[in-house]
Structure 1
Amino acid sequence: MTRPEPSRQQRGAAVEAAALAFLQARGLRLLARNARSRGGELDLVMDDAGSVVFVEVRYRANPDFGDGAASVDASKRRRLVQAAQDFLVRHPEHAHIPCRFDVVAASGDPAAPELDWLRDAFRADEA
């Protein structure tokens, strides 16, 4: 008997968990996961040696449409910046700490994806 294909949410959760483990293995510490706000959702909010890092995890099963990082267009960047600003208002203890936006692009098997970490993928003033 074959197993049913995982749902989009299940694939996303598996890829996000892999990205989290990948970043933690590199010394980042989790501050929040799936932080929701009016502006959207932040997949991961991490601490990297005193900087707050807003991480967008993007998975592409089919590379024919570009990698995950390519899907973080200007509109998505604006929503991420808005969500980050909302997060900082709700968590003022992080408001005066340097921040950056990273993207983890994932491809391949969602249970064991290939990950490409793009540190400082874009800046808030570029959104």
Structure 2
Amino acid sequence: MLFNKLKTKAAHLIRGASAEEQAHNFLINKGLKPVCRNFRCKHGELDLIMTDRQTLVIIEVRFRKTDRYGSAVESITRAKQSRIIAATQMYLAAGKTDCPIRFDVVAISGNGRIDWIQNAF
């Protein structure tokens, strides 16, 4: 039983890393420049941090195999948004920046569709 749970968790992490890589490459092709990946702090994790011209962009990557329990975009609750904002404040505290900040979402569905939502929250 424990082995199956670990196996399921490992598969979940692999899918997540694959979705992040797919989103990263997609955004680079759209002209964004990478700054940081998987910034972790006590408030959570920032999946991707990139720049779009003079704007610092914090990107949440979501993958859903199916929409059975809601879409990838719908899975970003107010609580998740609050954790992302708090983690962003921690990231910014480490280095001074006076550029504009934007929060984007890249939602990837099981059929490979990528939705990029700029200024998502």
* TM-score in terms of structure 1 length: 0.85
Q: Residue 114 of structure 1 aligns with which residue? A: 113
Paired residue type of 1:16: E
Q: Aligned pair 1:90/2:94, yes or no?
A: yes
- In structure 2, give the amino acid aligned to 1:24: I
Determine whether 1:62 maps to 2:61: no
SS in 1 for 2:119: strand
**Secondary structure at 1:85 match in 2:** helix
CA distance in 2, matches of 1:91, 1:105: 28
Q: Is 1:12 equivalent to 2:11 in the alignment?
A: no
Q: Which amino acid aligns with 2:32?
A: L
1:48 aligns with 2:52: yes
Q: Does 1:75 align with 2:79?
A: yes
Per the TM alignment, residue 65 of structure 1 is displaced from its structure 2 partner at its CA by 1.4
Gaps of 5+ in 2: 1-6
Offset, 1:64: 1.5
- Structure 1 segments (4+ residues) deviating >6 Å: none
Q: What is the SS of the residue equivalent to 2:46?
A: strand
Residue identity (%): 39
TM-score normalised to the size of structure 2? 0.89
Task: Work out the CA distance in 2 between the residues paired with 1:44 and 1:101.
Answer: 10
Question: What is the count of residue pairs matched by the alignment?
Answer: 114
- 1:102 is matched with which residue? 104
The SS at the match of 1:65 is: coil
Partner of 1:125: none
